[in-house]
């Protein structure tokens, strides 16, 4: 279904982002959660989104145009243990400014490593988005790394740690870039939302 995926630009702040007005689907998560791999899986390209970018590098908002209809937005990952306070603060300022003030955001996907116990940094971030009434979906990544029987347990554990800011639990997907799990469902969902937006 994705015929065309092209890198458009990297922006250091909201004001520099493309102004074509197309809906934006944002991908966000802790560093190493598998965000680049997921984006590459969705668009069937190996290197559209660079994997394993190092901490401390310039933090940029990356726009990719999909089928001339919508943007995928790749935000820098959060949660590097070793990053400086200054880096963390500039990440926070940049991403929050973009998320709160871009009027093009159709949906924000927060990526969660399905292997881990609920991480405070993820929960806090998701609750922050909920409090600000932003549309959030979750994508649990690296599902190939745990047993099938563990998956539901992990998801229950995670979703029950979300706060009262959510009137219902955000919609979620299960993915593995390695095994190409979740690709069809995520793309279908994005295109469905997008069709409804342009109607």
Interacting residue ranges for ligand GDP, rule: CB under 6 A = 29, 31-37, 51-52, 77, 141-142, 144-145, 176-178
CB of residue 93 vs ligand GDP: minimum separation in angstroms? Answer: 21
Output the residue with the shortest Cβ distance to ligand GDP: 34
Smallest gap, in angstroms, from Cβ of residue 123 to ligand GDP?
18
Nearer to ligand GDP, 47 or 117 (CB): 47
Q: How far is the CB of 112 from ligand GDP (least distance, A)?
A: 11
Cβ neighbours, 10 Å, residue 163: 12
Which of 22/72 has CB closer to ligand GDP?
A: 72
Nearer to ligand GDP, 22 or 28 (CB): 28
Run of H or E including 96: helix 85-101
Beta carbon of residue 62, minimum distance to ligand GDP (angstroms, whole number): 11
Distance CA 109, CA 143 (A): 16
Sorted by sequence, the CB contacts under 8 Å of residue 142 that are 6+ apart come out as 34, 113, 114, 115, 175, 176, 177, 178
């Amino acid at each position: 279904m994705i015929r065309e995926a092209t890198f458009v630009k990297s922006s250091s702040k909201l004001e520099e982002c493309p102004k074509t007005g197309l809906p934006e689907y944002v991908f966000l998560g802790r560093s190493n959660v598998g965000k680049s791999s997921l984006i590459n899986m969705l668009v069937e390209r190996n290197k559209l989104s660079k994997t394993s970018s190092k901490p401390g590098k310039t933090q940029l908002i990356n726009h990719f145009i999909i089928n001339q209809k919508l943007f995928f937005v790749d935000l820098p990952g959060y949660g590097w243990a070793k990053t400086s306070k200054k880096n963390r603060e500039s990440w926070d300022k940049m991403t929050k400014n973009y998320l709160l003030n871009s009027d093009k955001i159709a949906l924000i996907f927060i990526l969660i490593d399905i292997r881990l116990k609920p991480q405070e940094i993820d929960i806090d971030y998701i609750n922050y988005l909920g409090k600000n009434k932003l549309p959030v979906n979750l994508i649990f990544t690296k599902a190939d790394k745990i047993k099938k029987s563990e998956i539901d347990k992990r998801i229950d554990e995670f979703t029950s740690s979300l706060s009262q800011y959510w009137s219902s639990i955000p919609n979620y997907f299960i993915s593995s870039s390695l095994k190409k799990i979740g690709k069809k469902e995520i793309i279908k969902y994005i295109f469905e939302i997008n069709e409804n937006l342009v109607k």
